[in-house]
Chain A
């Protein structure tokens, strides 16, 4: 019984990782193709659906961590996924005014390269039981360049959206109401930007530490 459960787990996780891998591959392909053929203003329109699909599927990863299907602590995955979903739905989808900005291209390309590497890494581990050392090297090295690019794009796009957030009053809840609650979405966006100040160096530092550990281990093997 235990054997077939762990087999089922491997099958499910393999399927999950490879499907999302294909999603992100699609995003990268469409982004680069559109960038070269039509210019950065058209990139968002081209990638919108596969991007929303691939990133929102990551929500499942929170469940995987909660039910113990994977070992990753949700304290690490939750902030990462929240910031991604905030960007995709809370900024890009909600405020079309920023969709034509060049930062969308840098955002989408840096995210998709990172995710393609990550999901194929985990996909191989689940389906083949191991992943090749060059893929592991990529996983623990490309972040050095891609994280700063991605983070700058995230903060940049949120900052560019601020005046539109303020003037549109979208997602704002005003008093009076029976539940005595109010929400100023502008403040939410500002706080989100503020989180990047301690959050980014911490995440980067953590990944550097992981890199040292993992690559030293594989060198010893």
Chain B
């Protein structure tokens, strides 16, 4: 079949269109476009079906897994798609990694400056032991939480959500964050720096934000209808506060 690729202003991107097999997928189309124009690698392409001028409908975006046949009404062997260049793409993962590193390393530098300072004033031996003891218990608990979470993933990697069960997850939705918060509390009781407590407050608020989102998502997904289980009542992250 012939595919005509136009820009949003109506101009044809490739004179005469592209020739693809009838069973081709959108991914094949994206590859063909990339072949004809090296600059536009697939993740940079946004392909939509043309909308009637004046129509208030949102354009239908072509998803790469589907076959091209799904997108045209089939009366001629010609499909027209609208092309938009999304610009250079950085993978979300890369960006997340950068921000994550900067956040951790900056706070680590700030905290260690004070803990390792020549004029650092340690707390009493007993307080230090209680703090680290409490911290280590929560660290082990945290590790176990992550094992439980990992085991929730289905073996074929098909994604999708499950209701977490077992251990502290029977009481708290995001038990992994809970144990991490208490772990940092223990660390701070042992080391006692303003910088350390500041980090713990920031980390706790970020995790609380994530926990609220996760909790809401799970509750929405597991609403008890259509044979899905209903999400049981649980604390979100820090009983008895939230």
Contact = CB atoms under 8 A, between A and B. Distances in A.
Interface string B191-214: 111110000000000000000000
Interface stretch (B62-70, B78-86, B92-100, B116-124): B116-124
B115 interface: yes
A180 B128 CA distance: 15
B109 to A, nearest CB: 14
Contacts of A182: 114, 117
A177 interface: yes
Nearest to A183: B194
Contact of B117 (A178, A179, A180): A180
A179 B120 contact: no
Contacts, number: 29
Interface residues on B, range: 10 to 19
Interface string A149-191: 0000000000000000000000000011111111000000000
Contacts of B121: 175-178, 180
Most buried by B among A175, A178, A179, A180: A180
B120 A175 contact: yes
Contacts of A175: 117, 119-121
B194 A181 contact: yes
A85 B65 CA distance: 55
Interface in A169-221: 175-182
Nearest to A179: B194
A94 to B, nearest CB: 22
B119 A178 contact: no
Contacts of A178: 121, 192
A177 to B, nearest CB: 7
B119 A176 contact: yes
Interface in B100-151: 114-115, 117, 119-121
B119 A181 contact: no
Contacts of B191: 180
Contacts of A180: 114-115, 117, 120-121, 191-195
A175 B119 CA distance: 6
Nearest to B114: A180
B140 to A, nearest CB: 27
A181 B192 CA distance: 9
A179 B192 contact: yes
Contacts of A177: 121
A180 B195 CA distance: 8
B194 A176 contact: no
Interface in A19-71: none
Contacts of A179: 192-194
Contacts of B119: 175-176
14 contacts: A175-B117, A175-B119, A175-B121, A176-B120, A178-B121, A180-B114, A180-B117, A180-B120, A180-B121, A180-B193, A181-B114, A181-B193, A182-B114, A182-B117
Given A181-B114, A181-B195, A182-B114, 18 more contacts: A175-B117, A175-B119, A175-B121, A176-B120, A178-B121, A179-B192, A179-B193, A180-B114, A180-B120, A180-B121, A180-B191, A180-B192, A180-B193, A180-B194, A180-B195, A181-B193, A181-B194, A182-B117
9 nearest A-B pairs in the assembled complex, by CB-CB distance:
A181-B194, A175-B119, A180-B193, A176-B119, A176-B121, A180-B114, A179-B194, A180-B120, A178-B121
